[in-house]
Amino acid sequence: MKIVVITWLVAISFACNAEESYRIPGGIGENERGEYAPKSHYKILGIEISNSTLKSIKKMVGDATVYEGSHTADHLCYITKKQKIEFTISSLGFGYEVERIGNEDTSRCKHIQSSLKSGAGLKVGLEKSTVLELLGKPSKKSENSASYIYWVQEKPGKEIEERLRAAHEIPDSQGLWLDVYTGIRILYINNVVEKFSVHTTETY
């Protein structure tokens, strides 16, 4: 995947409808999926992260504290009795991570009483065999982890394309596609899900 720092224009592109034209990247690796990740992975706690802001998540789930991370990222977290979910939205993309609570500081996370099960059926405590039934063969795996990788190139809408070309001085003669890259990552301990995350980035 190309490493390019994108400005706030990428955040705008998430909120706008791009043209339906897309293609599979030429460099796609073995077992990677040349398609969009199923929308069910973005659904958790009754919200859909791909269409949400941290402000809208706070309004729906609870008034937690937003805190800054690295590379323009802002975070928001909630905890149940034994688990934590952290949402991340930045100029590069969006996502969330669910894990068991360890010894980390959770003082800025708001307590909630909700299931941290994704719309795709992923949750902490799930057996590896059940994950395979739900998601199929992973793109990459090791004894204690698995990754599902989705990657397509999407033609941006006219307004977004014009802004990107102007902001980054891209000539009209040069083609412009957005790389939409989603990684679903799972950590196992004793063949049971200990942590899982869903993150999408969009670069060109």
Percent of the chain with pLDDT over 70: 90
Q: How far apart are CA 191 and CA 128, in angstroms?
A: 5
pTM: 0.83
Of 79-88, 101-110, 111-120, minimum mean pLDDT range: 101-110
Q: Mean of the per-residue pLDDT values for the chain?
A: 86
Task: Give domain status of residue 2, yes or no.
Answer: no
Residue 145 parent element (H or E): strand 145-154
pLDDT at 15 exceeding the cut of 60: no
Is 4 a domain residue? no
Find the range with the poorest average confidence among 15-29, 38-52, 58-72, 88-102.
15-29
Residue 135 lies in a domain: yes
Range of the domain at 195: 9-203
Decide if 95 is inside a domain.
yes
- Which ranges of 49-138 would DSSP assign to H, the alpha helix? 54-61, 128-135
Name the least confident of 76-80, 134-138, 150-154.
150-154
Does residue 184 belong to any structural domain of this protein? yes
Residue 73 contacts residue 90 (beta carbons within 8 Å) = yes
With cut-offs at 50, 70 and 90, classify the pLDDT of residue 148: very high
CA distances from 76 to 57, 93, 101, 189, 198 (A): 9, 15, 15, 26, 15
Q: Give me the pLDDT at residue 1, please.
A: 36
DSSP assignment string, 2-20: ------THHHHHHHSPPPS
103 vs 121: CA distance, rounded Å: 27
Residue 62's pLDDT is: 92
d(CA 145, CA 134): 16
Residue 3 lies in a domain: no
CB atoms within 10 A of CB 156: 23
147-171 mean pLDDT: 86
Query: Residues near 78 by Cβ (< 8 Å), separated by ≥ 6?
Result: 45, 61, 62, 64, 84, 85, 109, 110, 111, 112, 114
Question: Is position 198 within any domain?
Answer: yes
Query: Do the domain assignments include residue 32?
Result: yes
Domain count, the chain: 1
Residue 82 scores a pLDDT above 70: yes
